[in-house]
Amino acid sequence: MSANYLLKRADFIFKNDNDWEDVLKKSLSRTPNELINELISSELKGRGGAGFPTGLKWKLSSEEKADEKFVICNADEGEPGTFKDREILSRVPFKVLTAIAICGYVIGAKKGFIYLRGEYFFLKNELNKAISEFEFFCKEIKFDFSIKIFMGSGAYICGEETALFESMEGKRGEPRNKPPFPSVSGYMGKPTVINNVETLAHTFTIFKYGSKRFYDLGVQFSRGTKLFSVSGDTPKPGIYELELGMSLSDFVEEFGDDDTKAVQVGGASGFLVPRKKFAETSIGFQGKLVGISLPTGGSMMIFNSSRSMYNVLDNYLNFFAEESCGQCTPCRVGCQQLLRGIKAVKRGEKNAQYLDKLLKLAETMQFTAKCGLGQSVANSFASIVENFREEMIY
Amino acid sequence: MGNKLKITINGETVEIEKGTSILDAAKQVGVIIPTLCYHKDLCVAGNCRVCVVEIAGQKRLAAACATPCEEGMDVLTNTHKVRNSRKHIIELLLSEHNAECTSCYKNGNCELQLLASEYKIMNQDFIHLVPFRNYTVDMFSPSIIKDDSKCIRCQRCVRTCAELQSVNALTMSYKGEHAKITTFFEKSMNDVVCTNCGQCINHCPTGALVEKNYIEEVWNAIADKNKYVVVQTAPAVRVGLGEELGFDPGERVTGKMVAALKRLGFDAVMDTDFTADLTIMEEGTELLTRLKGALVDKNPDIKLPMATSCSPGWIKFIEHMYPEYLGNLSTCKSPQQMFGALVKTYYAKARKIDPDKIVSVSIMPCTAKKFEANRPEMHDSGYRDVDYVLTTRELAIMIKQAGIDFLKLNDMHFDRLMGESTGAGVIFGATGGVMEAALRTAYELVTGREVPFENLNINPVRGMDGVKEASVKKKPLPEWSFLEGVELKCAVAHGLVNAKKVMDSIKSGKANYHFIEFMACPGGCLGGGGQPIPTSPEIRKRRAEAIYAEDAGMPLRKSHQNPEIVKIYKDFLGKPLGEKSHHLLHTKYVPRKRF
Amino acid sequence: MNATVESRVDTAIIDEIISRHKGKPGELLTVMEEVQEASEFKFLDDASMEYLSSQTRVPLSRIYSVATFYSFFNLKPQGKHSLIVCRGTACHTKGSKILLDDLALLPGCKEAFDSGETTFTSEDKQITVKTVACFGQCALAPVVAVDGVIYSNVTSEQIKKLLQNLQEDNKDENFRLS
């Protein structure tokens, strides 16, 4: 069943942001409830994590009673193959700052933070300049809000929201048990809205043009546009804003090199789609594939026939074995077993049936790991092993 | 409704308080959920994932220990998915665990082993990860052996060291596949702030942290015809030992323990309670002397409050963390070390034994006592005062090795000379006991009357509150007139996290106590790091009840009534704080690096 | 430039760093980063950590625990120059492993990485080679960073030249390659 949906480019995110003062003023003149309803009717879902409805997230935090609340922009873009947030922050920072402030207004927070990936240190100075200008304007219009940058220190797991809080509190970035959820108890134990950079940029679009403009893009359950970081075997690597709901065959037609063997959707924690399934796969929150609903989504890595899928999987598993925080058993030990397991099969030390045991293990990791990292290892593992089993063995 | 909510577990409805975890709710309906990283003494971690259960309508499983119940939740604990997942997790843990069970010190008392047995992990075909690691066993501490190859990263030790003891010697370092439990820069436990309290051992589910045992050394001494092997037993041992040998927690096995020690072949079986009584004489006198010095002579060098010095874990804690307060410590050695110094002097002389031939063994609820006996200061008899320290657990192992049917033993009495004690000595084993014993004697000494508490039971200092306070106002006898109108303020802290609270309040000037009892372990010695495993608040409560029952059953309940105490001062020591006491029974402390 | 690299950071500098961040939540990470930055060989030595702990009352084991968690903290002295190879998937598939192998020109380097290390410093403390999980520059793969400057589509020829320039302290030469 083909999605039959053509690739539609869009241009919202990177369009100039020099009207941010107006968007901020206009938004602050509306009630928090109006703004929440605007978001809810846009059906915007988180662009970085689990695809949680953004409007609902803001609503939940706004309903909490607390002496202090926080807004955090998650710019810990660590998913291999993803580089869209870097572009947003360097090209249209004011959209993000405005969105953080509007969120603060909605939920009743006076402080916002940008958790910036340590590797993006080169963005810090420009971003701080933008923040100064932004805060100055806030003061002028008598809106009490401040934004600070918190630099990450090089740990992939800190993209997980509760690990990010721990890190900001000066601790090891180890994910917390949920519940409680951030909307109730986040940074410093206070109600916190944490949104991905791109999600915040989309809220700017919605507050500027109204929810209908956004809702009319994309398809049912997957409204609006999305940034895709295209890399791998493609003649045109880069960042593209596309409407959600496209089919993967259309995507490959546009970006492939005529020899595309598979596409990894969603980075290391995403899914590998082999050529024979391109037509039936569409990119969105619903459907056969939930590619972009994975942590720091939007990564599209294209592999041509010269690439060994075993090498790709080996690379992912190395990554996970290193970057797991090490707290919970399924993730800490499971990643090592998957990694050593495929090596053993490749070397002939374990027979091919051992892959089935590993597939079951990956499923257990998905059911039992403490956080999204461990739960999502199964995605790439199962999709690669199931679709390229012979490459794993020979 | 209000604070109650209803959930179903395996189809059975249960009404529980809001905030109850699935794990606790399941217990109420008789459903057992296996756990590893969970411990009643500690905060919930949710790390091991062994306790996963299915919640109807959710694809992912939930950790029962870390998931609060929600109204209407439909929990399933025995589905195919749950069983398979748990089995997988146990297999994973075994794959990173050095499962040399038959040669492991914890064989038979290992929670991982038990789970592996329950879930019948027969086809362990995951790749064994231990050979890929560079594990070394840390044997440098005289108290604790740390073997990382047996660690399953549950972090119970890390939480114990931080939450119960605020020592923070152990921590989780690195991440992912390299994650491990280490000290600062992976130094030996002997070279960091570790107090040797052994609480990490009590809370470790596997054999990664165990006491350094001296069982063979003691067997060798017993077998040596040229040696005269004496043994002393600490108060808390008699209320814990039974748990290792078939009794429920809270059983007093004093008489059986003495009988067993005789059967093991010790030449004399004596009681640390005797030197506990002696401690009261020395420490009580020291307190009154300090009070006089401060109140009458206004001597600025006199340090108050005076802190007790029986607990070697506490001593090492203050040496590291508050070295500026070492002057506040009582100079009294612990009862174990007083005993050691006297066995090779007073006892040897009285019994006409060459002290060189005496091997002095002590049975302690404690692992820090191993370190204490090893301190260079502890050679005042001219020999090493205490040669070997065994924990309650090690004694139980010897009793089993000797083929002694403990349950069938007839009660026996301690040997005389340093075997007589009072109820005051016994209660040293519980938090508040030293304070209570001191007050029973000091009050009477100063006022000529018994402490004004029913049956001598000073209830304000009993119980499991972390910090307890009491104050006594006395109408003194004429020779103590300087205490007229003085309200003696006392405090009791157990568990080093509570010791820290009290010390910090002293440091900030908020507290003005005269006398404080500090015990390193939760519950005092009865909850010591050498006591039977498992431990829990409930078990410690039962042991405390046993201690107080032992005290209540003693004919003599005040240290100064102990006839052997009277005798030793008459025959040997002279008077409390006298020259001989000073030489044999008192000691010094050394400041150590805080971190 | 010999084995004695006991580069303990001046306590006055540590005091200044602590006081500047005092009271800010999460200050520990920032303070640790600045102390590392202040150290001559860009690493956290045990004496500096001990001092930091005594002044902040954060248990020493916790400082160590945090330092070992984040890849930005170094527990060993670092070289004068840094050369970081991205091993993200895009770079990996486009040959970053080969680039790493090319660094075998640096004695001991290949052996270190083959044995699972993620960082290597040359004996003369001239160069530290590291790998990083992903730079977020996947469109330019394979990517290498030299002293913070990103080089894209790097070839074996280039990385050898980059390395040689660092060894010869010819950093300016490198900029022409970027």
Same domain, C102 and C149: yes
- Domain of C158, CATH number, reads 3.40.30.10
More confident of the two residues B58 and A3: B58
Two tokens, residue C133: 């999980």
Tokens of A138: 């806030």
Residue B268: count of CB within 10 angstroms of its CB = 22
CA distance A184 to B264: 61
In this structure, the answer to whether residues C44 and C100 fall within a common structural domain is no
Give yes or no: residues A181 and A317 share one domain: no
Q: What is the dihedral of CA B81, B87, B88, B91, to 10 degrees?
A: 180
10-residue mean pLDDT profile of chain B (595 residues): values are 88 95 96 97 97 96 97 97 97 96 96 96 90 94 98 98 97 96 96 97 98 98 98 98 97 98 98 97 96 91 96 98 97 98 97 97 98 97 97 98 97 95 97 97 93 93 96 87 91 98 96 96 98 97 98 96 96 96 97 84
For residue A31, what pLDDT is reported? Answer: 98
Which segments of B392-520 are extended strands (E)? 467-473, 487-494, 515-519
Residues of chain C with pLDDT under 70: 1-7, 171-178
Nearest to A223 by CA among A10, A4, A2, A1: A10
- Residue A215 burial by Cβ neighbours in a 10 Å radius (0-12, 13-18, 19+): middle
How far apart are the two ends of chain A, measured CA to CA in Å?
33
Q: Is B310 a catalytic residue?
A: yes
In a domain, C4, yes or no: no
**Is the pLDDT reported for residue A349 higher than 90?**
yes
Does residue C153 share a domain with residue C87?
Answer: yes
In a 13 Å sphere around the CA of B47, the CA atoms on its Cβ side amount to 25
Task: Flag whether A111 is in a domain.
Answer: yes
Does the pLDDT value for residue A23 go beyond 90?
yes
**Which chain C positions have a beta carbon within 8 Å of A268's beta carbon?**
89
- Does A150 contact chain C (CB < 8 Å)? yes
Q: What pLDDT sits at residue C6?
A: 58
Q: What is the DSSP letter of C10?
A: P
Query: What is the four-CA torsion angle of A241, A244, A250, A253, rounded to 10 degrees?
Result: 20
Count structural domains, chain A: 2
Range of the domain at A359: 309-393
Main-chain dihedrals φ then ψ at residue A106, nearest 5 degrees: -65, -45
Q: Is B369 a catalytic residue?
A: yes
B146, B167, B170, B173: best mutation site toward chain C, by most C Cβ within 10 Å? B173
Q: Which amino acid is at B434?
A: V
- Over the stretch A222-275, which tens digit does the pLDDT of each residue have? 899 999 999 999 999 999 999 988 889 999 999 999 999 999 998 998 999 999
| pLDDT tens-digit series, residues A315-346 | 999 999 999 999 999 999 999 999 999 999 99
Token representation of residue B215: 């069982």
Q: Which two tokens stand for residue B279?
A: 């401690």
The angle subtended at Cα B444 by Cα B442 and Cα B446, nearest 5°, is: 70
- For residue A168, the SS3 value is helix
Amino acid at B191: D
Instruction: Give the chains touching C; criterion: ≥3 Cβ pairs < 8 Å.
Output: A, B
B324 carries an active-site annotation: no
Element containing residue B95 per DSSP (H, E): helix B80-95
Q: What is the ipTM of this complex?
A: 0.94
Q: How far is A327 from chain B (nearest CA, A)?
A: 6
Per-residue pLDDT for A122 more than 90? yes
Which of A185, A215, A245 is the last residue before a domain boundary? A215
Helix (H) or strand (E) holding B6: strand B4-9
Q: Contact at 8 Å (CB) between C69 and A173?
A: yes
DSSP element (H, E) containing C120: strand C119-121
CB count within 10 Å of CB A291 equals: 26
Domain identity same for A184 and A315: no
What is the reported pLDDT for C1? Answer: 36
Counting every residue written for chain C, the total comes to 178
∠ CA(B549), CA(B550), CA(B553), 5° rounding? 85
Q: Which residue has the tokens 């440091």?
A: B507
Residue C2 resides in a domain: no
> How far apart are the C-alpha atoms of B406 and B578, rounded to whole Å?
43
Single residue among C69, C101, C118 that ends a domain in this structure: C69
Domain harbouring A338, CATH code: 1.20.1440.230
Q: Are strands A192-196 and A146-151 parallel, antiparallel or unpaired?
A: unpaired
* Token pair of C80 as six digits: 């004068």
B372 is catalytic: yes
d(CA B409, CA B242): 12
- Residue B376 CB neighbour total at 10 angstroms: 7
Tell me the β-bridge partners of A194.
A72
Structure tokens at C27: 């200050």
Confidence of residue A49 (pLDDT cuts 50, 70, 90): low
A57's tokens: 């997230």
pTM above 0.90, yes or no: yes
- Specify the pLDDT at position C178: 55
Between CA C38 and CA A134 the distance in angstroms is 32
pLDDT (average), residues A111-134 = 96
- pLDDT score, position A286: 63
Q: Spot the catalytic one: B69, B110, B204, B310.
A: B310
CA atoms within 13 A on the CB side of B324: 4
Count of beta carbons in the 10 Å neighbourhood of residue B294? 18
Of C66, C93, C137, the CB nearest to A83: C137
Of the candidates B283, B319, B436, B550, the residue annotated as catalytic is B283
Q: Locate the chain C residue with the closest alpha carbon to B185.
A: C64
In terms of Cα–Cα distance, which of A75, A72, A141, A151 is closest to A118?
Answer: A151
pLDDT of residue C82: 93
Kindly state whether residue A27 falls inside one of the protein's structural domains: yes
Q: What is the enclosing helix (H) or strand (E) of A225?
A: strand A225-232
Last residue of a domain, one of A198, A215, A232: A215
Which residue intervals of chain B bear CATH 3.40.950.10?
280-333+422-527+555-585
Query: Closest-CA residue in chain A for C134?
Result: A80
Query: Looking at this protein, which amino acid is placed at residue A350?
Result: K
Record: contact C69-B174, CB cut-off 8 A = yes
B280-333+422-527+555-585 is classed CATH 1.10.510.10: no
CA separation, residue A269 to residues A50, A87, A293, B216 (Å): 12, 22, 10, 54
Strand order in the sheet with A225-232: A238-243, A225-232, A299-304, A260-265, A271-274
CB A203 within 8 A of CB A38: no
Where does residue B191 rank: exposed (0-12), middle (13-18), buried (19+ CB within 10 A)?
middle
Q: Which segments of B250-301 are extended strands (E)?
A: 268-271
Domain B4-78 falls in which CATH fold? Answer: Ubiquitin-like (UB roll) (3.10.20)
Look up the CATH number of the domain holding residue A204: 3.40.50.11540
Classify B215-274+336-408 by CATH class: alpha beta
Gap from B31 CA to chain A (nearest CA, Å): 20
Q: For B124-211, CATH number? A: 3.30.70.20
Q: Please report, to the nearest 10 degrees, the dihedral formed by the alpha carbons of residues B92, B97, B103, B104 taken in order.
A: -110
Chain B residues within an 8 Å CB radius of C75: 185
Instruction: Choose, out of B44, B111, B127, B158, the residue to mutate when testing the contact with A (most A CBs < 10 Å).
Output: B127
Q: What is the mean pLDDT of residues A81-89?
A: 93
Rounded to the nearest 10 degrees, what angle do helices A32-42 and A93-107 cross at?
120
Of B182, B93, B185, B84, residue with least CA distance to B130: B93
Instruction: Check whether residue A318 and residue A198 sit in a common domain.
Output: no
The pLDDT of residue C26? 83
- Boundary of a domain, candidates C69, C98, C114: C69
Q: Could you tell me which chains touch chain A, where touching means 3 or more CB pairs under 8 A?
A: B, C
Same domain? C137 vs C168: yes
Q: Are residues C99 and C65 in the same domain?
A: no
* Residues from chain C contacting residue A237 (CB–CB below 8 Å): 138-140
Nearest-by-CA chain B residue for C68? B174
Range of the domain at C132: 81-177
- Over the range A246-281, which residues count as b (16 or more CB within 10 Å of their CB) and which as e? bbbbbbbebbbeeebbbbbbbbbbbbbbbbebbbbb
What does the alpha-carbon distance between residue C108 and residue C122 come to, in Å, rounded to a whole number?
A: 8
Residue whose structure tokens are 């540590």 = C14
Q: Total domain count for chain C?
A: 2
pLDDT of amino acid C118: 84
- Compute the distance between CA of residue B204 and CA of residue A68 in angstroms, rounded to an integer: 39
Which residues have a Cβ under 8 Å from the Cβ of C153 and sit 6 or more positions away? C140, C141, C142
Does one domain contain both C170 and C93?
A: yes
The reply to whether C34 falls in a domain is yes
Compare all CA atoms of chain A with the CA of C71 and give the residue at the minimum distance. Answer: A154
Q: Are B257 and B269 in contact (CB under 8 A)?
A: no
Which pLDDT belongs to residue C18?
95
Domain-located, residue C96:
yes
C5 in a domain, yes or no? Answer: no
CB contact under 8 A, C90 and A232: yes
User: What pLDDT, on the 0 to 100 scale, is given for residue A293?
Assistant: 36
What's the pLDDT at C2? 38
Beta bridge partners of B16: B5
Does C3 reside within a domain? no
Closest CA to B202 of B161, B173, B248, B174: B161
Beta strand B4-9 pairing with B12-17:
antiparallel
Helices B254-264, B392-401: axis angle to 10 degrees equals 60
Q: At what angle do helices A329-346 and A354-368 cross, to 10 degrees?
A: 160
Closest CA to A137 of A15, A30, A18: A18
In this complex, is the C-beta atom of B156 within 8 Å of any C-beta atom belonging to chain A?
no
